[in-house]
Amino acid sequence: MPDLLLELRSEEIPARMQRKAAGDLRKMLTDGLVEAGLTYEAAREYWTPRRLTLDIRGLTARSKDISEEIKGPSTSAPEQAVQGFLRKAGLSSIAEAHVHSDPKKGDFYVAHISKPGRAAEQIIADLVPGIIRNFPWPKSMRWGPASAKPGSLRWVRPLQSILCTFGPETEEPVVVDFEIDGIRSGNITYGHRFHAPDAITVRRFDDYVSKLEAAKVVLDADRRKEIILADARNLAFANGLDLVEDEGLLEEVSGLVEWPVVLMGEFEEAFLAIPAEVIRLTIRANQKCFVTRPQGVDDALSNRFILTANIEAKDGGKEIAHGNGKVVRARLSDALYFWTTDQGDLPDLRELEASAEKFGLDLKKPLDQRMARLDHLGVTFHAKLGTQGERVERIKRLAEELAPTVVQSISPLEGEMAGRPEGVAAREAPASSDRDGASHPVVPTPSVAFGDISPSRGEITALAARAAVLAKADLTTEVVGEFPELQGAMGRKYALLQGEHASVAAAAEEHYKPQGPSDRVPSDPVSITVALADKLDTLVGFWAIDEKPTGSKDPYALRRAALGVVRILIENAVSSSLRHQLANALFGFMFNQGARFSAVWRAEDGGEFTTGVGSSRDLLDKRFIGLSSEVAGSSQDRPAAQLIPDLIAFFHDRLKVYLRDQGARHDLIDAVITPQSDDLLQIVRRVEALGSFLDTEDGKNLLAGTKRAANILAAEEKKKTVVAETVEPALFREDAEKSLFAAVNQAEKQAGEAVQNDHFSGALLALSVLREPVDSFFEHVLVNDEDQAVRANRLALLARIRAATGQVADFSRIAG
């Protein structure tokens, strides 16, 4: 079977575009070949800074001949229908069609179409120019004299040559001949720009790779990465150092060189006074170099760095390393200036006094000055949500309200055993079970201990308020202005330098966490509090102005913020009413924004009216709909769905995604979550307890009986059969009814008490006593008795079963 080799060689392609571009080339060409009737065995793409290459193996030499019949209208059809048929079939006149007869439908036209197969070379020659002209580069350019003409070729950088050969291994390949804007395909390529600039004649992929290697070009990007990483590690080790590995930088550097040569440069040790993160980012961002550290030391860097050249210099790379060192020194000099400037006083301290008083800031401290400046300058957070200073006020207020809840959750609870049913263990770690019965955690248990002495509510509240005030202060620092990705990390360092409590400093960095599903969650109680306040304020604010995620669009990362709240609450075992916290956040938002927002309420007559809000409790009223705002002079009425229930539903969606990723069964999640569920930790514990219970024989049998009861009730309710409001023991005729009634009374009471104490395993243990009475009831009792009163009473008894089990979960939604 023939193989196809295609190379598009140009000037240097930006490293960030190379991998996707090569994948796009493979997809576009293989899709086109398949659509044209060809098949292939394998295809693989390659790329270097100056070329995109595609190797397709086992490509059929010719497409198949095609014969098909296109059925047309009746011979008596109107002219308009006939003309449409001719256009569809590609016929010039109806005389070219055939007439077929059908006993039922009569005579009708049929077009017999025969398309001869085409040679693969012809198909390729037709496809490739179109792919090149329509290639989806993020940015492209025109060049040369032809660029002045309309429709001239665009490419990411000037396209210089096209190599395209086709043929089997046993024969001499042929050049697939085509031309685009004066560039004609051939069997010629070129090696390294400096080491081997002469033309190279290529036959097929194997000798293409070997000749490029001889011409100082490593075609495979993954192999270039392996070479760079191995040589960098070895060079660092030879100098008594460890390489600080960086996968993102490695990917980028491998796209900057065709022949990687690893060298070592150095800078003055005095620059090591700069924080390691700043040094690393300075060298990474400006020179694309790796940093090193002394062997066995994790929290400090050395004054040597690793660079990757694209040339084998005659002096062994000394001048290259020296030149890079000069640039690195200049960049580090700037970084040192930023670092020292941020620790000094600002020149406009008198102008900051009002902001300092508002937030209780000490203008003798550099970070306090930066926070005062952030407020004084009125830096906008969002045009409809006010300034960063206003947002900090909201976060501080909400953090003060959240702190007692966080402290209570992470501290040992006094009297935890009180009210727990006998035999129920204290605070089970969330766990689930596979269908084979193997138990495993649904979510990670808290990985960090909070110490033997739990901090008091007052201490945590004060620290959380201070941390909230300083959390955004580093946004106006020089270092963060130069390296925005260091926001939070620099806040922590500056906070420690001015003597802040360690928890306050940690919160400056950790309140941004988690940044994604693999990022760790904060574990310090102050960090937890501020992180929750920050994310809840963000979500409530954007919901208030109706900037919700839609489809795949989430420009403000609100899904990530909600998932962050979910993970923080669950992985730190924080039990809290999300509904109340959202109401607190929304009230703080309205209070902070003054007259710009008012509450919209539903009137008794179905209409709406607008008023102010006295407290966060008002926002929990069922009549509360949303907000009305006057922003930028235009009225934005906010009726639609209720704001807080809508946000609760959004959190439920994120929780479902999180739990499914952790291996929890989707049906158990659906069985536990209701629109009223607003304690995410309780939901998780219900899911794990339910999963463990259903793996037992009692659980499986109770599930079957409960679902049977629910199905009977649902069917009778659908038929509008009368169901008694209460169970009347005087109407019992069978002993099984009496036994079930007594068991339901006992189980319902004990399960309710256990649920009140958040002991869901205990609740299910209490419900497990229903298994035998339920089985006996369905074995000996006919629910649809002829006596209407008896039937209604028995249906009421089934409703009691549903209500009892419903305290933990909706069993009707569980599979099995």
Are the C-beta atoms of 108 and 120 separated by less than 8 Å?
Answer: no
Amino acid in the structure at residue 384:
K
Examine the pLDDT at 606 and tell me if it is beyond 70. Answer: no
Amino acid in the structure at residue 440:
H
- Provide the pLDDT for residue 551: 83
Give the closest residue to 620 by CA, choosing from 592, 586, 588: 586
* Residue 77, C-beta contacts closer than 8 angstroms, at least 6 positions apart: none
- Provide the pLDDT for residue 146: 82
CB burial of 324-336 (b: ≥16 within 10 Å; e: otherwise) equals bbeebeebbeebb
What's 151's DSSP letter?
T
Q: What mean pLDDT, rounded, does the chain reach?
A: 87
Q: How confident is the model at residue 760 (pLDDT cuts 50, 70, 90)?
A: confident
Q: How confident is the model at residue 640 (pLDDT cuts 50, 70, 90)?
A: very low
- Provide the pLDDT for residue 421: 36
The C-alpha atoms of residue 365 and residue 160 are separated, in whole angstroms, by 59
Examine the pLDDT at 259 and tell me if it is beyond 70. Answer: yes
Are the C-beta atoms of 563 and 657 separated by less than 8 Å?
Answer: yes
- Provide the pLDDT for residue 282: 94
Q: Report CA Rg, the chain.
A: 36
- Provide the pLDDT for residue 618: 63
- Give the percent of the chain with pLDDT over 90: 58
* Residue 588, C-beta contacts closer than 8 angstroms, at least 6 positions apart: 394, 397, 398, 537, 616
The order of strands in the sheet holding 597-602 is: 608-611, 597-602, 624-631, 634-637
* Residue 152, C-beta contacts closer than 8 angstroms, at least 6 positions apart: 142, 146, 181
More confident residue, 397 or 91: 397
Find where tokens 């075992």 sit. Answer: 573
Are the C-beta atoms of 46 and 221 separated by less than 8 Å?
Answer: yes
CB atoms within 10 A of CB 347: 7
Question: Does an H or E element contain 6, and which?
Answer: strand 3-10
Amino acid in the structure at residue 656:
K
The C-alpha atoms of residue 105 and residue 617 are separated, in whole angstroms, by 73
Question: Of 7-16, 73-82, 190-199, where does mean pLDDT reach its minimum?
Answer: 73-82
pTM of the model: 0.78
The C-alpha atoms of residue 129 and residue 153 are separated, in whole angstroms, by 10
The C-alpha atoms of residue 456 and residue 523 are separated, in whole angstroms, by 16
Tokens of 788: 């209407």
Q: How confident is the model at residue 334 (pLDDT cuts 50, 70, 90)?
A: very high
Amino acid in the structure at residue 265:
G
Are the C-beta atoms of 194 and 311 separated by less than 8 Å?
Answer: yes
The C-alpha atoms of residue 267 and residue 315 are separated, in whole angstroms, by 20
Question: Does an H or E element contain 307, and which?
Answer: strand 304-309
Question: Does an H or E element contain 597, and which?
Answer: strand 597-602
Tokens of 565: 């709240």
More confident residue, 459 or 453: 459
Give the closest residue to 395 by CA, choosing from 487, 533, 503: 533
> Is residue 132 exposed (0-12), middle (13-18) or buried (19+ Cβ within 10 Å)?
buried
The C-alpha atoms of residue 210 and residue 204 are separated, in whole angstroms, by 10
Longest dimension (CA), the chain: 105
pLDDT one-digit tens code per residue, 195-238:
999 999 999 999 999 999 999 999 999 999 999 999 999 999 99
* Residue 707, C-beta contacts closer than 8 angstroms, at least 6 positions apart: 811, 812, 814
Examine the pLDDT at 700 and tell me if it is beyond 80. Answer: yes
Amino acid in the structure at residue 89:
A
Integer CA distances (angstroms), 161 to 10, 124, 183, 456, 779, in order: 7, 17, 6, 72, 83
CB atoms within 10 A of CB 510: 24
Are the C-beta atoms of 561 and 543 separated by less than 8 Å?
Answer: no
What's 62's DSSP letter?
B
* Residue 182, C-beta contacts closer than 8 angstroms, at least 6 positions apart: 146
- Provide the pLDDT for residue 619: 63
State whether the Cα torsion 218-221-223-228 is positive or negative: positive
Find where tokens 């006998």 sit. Answer: 422
Q: How confident is the model at residue 434 (pLDDT cuts 50, 70, 90)?
A: very low
Are the C-beta atoms of 692 and 685 separated by less than 8 Å?
Answer: no
The C-alpha atoms of residue 239 and residue 266 are separated, in whole angstroms, by 12
Question: Of 269-278, 581-590, 727-736, where does mean pLDDT reach its minimum?
Answer: 581-590
Cα atoms in the 13 Å half-sphere on the side-chain side of 210: 6
What's 274's DSSP letter?
S
The C-alpha atoms of residue 630 and residue 622 are separated, in whole angstroms, by 24
Find where tokens 């990007």 sit. Answer: 221
Nearest 5°: phi and psi at 597? -130, 140
- Mutual orientation of helices 643-661 and 525-544 as an angle, nearest 10°? 130
The C-alpha atoms of residue 45 and residue 532 are separated, in whole angstroms, by 45
Q: What mean pLDDT do residues 304-318 have?
A: 95
Integer CA distances (angstroms), 274 to 269, 327, 472, 639, in order: 10, 17, 21, 53
Q: How confident is the model at residue 417 (pLDDT cuts 50, 70, 90)?
A: very low
Look at residue 200 and give its three-state secondary structure: strand
Distance between start and end Cα atoms, the chain: 52
- Provide the pLDDT for residue 714: 86
- Provide the pLDDT for residue 814: 87
The C-alpha atoms of residue 558 and residue 715 are separated, in whole angstroms, by 41
Q: How confident is the model at residue 604 (pLDDT cuts 50, 70, 90)?
A: low
* Residue 87, C-beta contacts closer than 8 angstroms, at least 6 positions apart: none
Nearest 5°: phi and psi at 770? -75, -15
What's 440's DSSP letter?
E
Integer CA distances (angstroms), 447 to 282, 432, 443, 456, 532, in order: 33, 18, 11, 21, 18
Question: Of 73-77, 403-407, 444-448, 554-558, where does mean pLDDT reach its minimum?
Answer: 444-448
- Provide the pLDDT for residue 70: 86
The C-alpha atoms of residue 60 and residue 627 are separated, in whole angstroms, by 65
Question: Of 628-642, 717-731, 763-777, 779-793, where does mean pLDDT reach its minimum?
Answer: 628-642
Cα atoms in the 13 Å half-sphere on the side-chain side of 497: 18
* Residue 497, C-beta contacts closer than 8 angstroms, at least 6 positions apart: 343, 366
Q: How confident is the model at residue 451 (pLDDT cuts 50, 70, 90)?
A: very low
What's 269's DSSP letter?
G
Give the closest residue to 72 by CA, choosing from 113, 123, 31, 109: 109
Q: What mean pLDDT do residues 516-534 have?
A: 94
State whether the Cα torsion 525-531-534-540 is positive or negative: negative
Integer CA distances (angstroms), 577 to 181, 505, 526, 675, in order: 66, 28, 19, 13
The C-alpha atoms of residue 661 and residue 654 are separated, in whole angstroms, by 11
Torsion of CA 82, 84, 88, 94, to 10 degrees: 30
DSSP for 471-504, please give it: TTGGGGSHHHHH-GGGTTHHHHHHHHHTT--HHH
Q: What mean pLDDT do residues 312-334 have?
A: 95
Cα atoms in the 13 Å half-sphere on the side-chain side of 522: 27
Nearest 5°: phi and psi at 519? -80, 150
Are the C-beta atoms of 255 and 12 separated by less than 8 Å?
Answer: no
Are the C-beta atoms of 727 and 797 separated by less than 8 Å?
Answer: yes
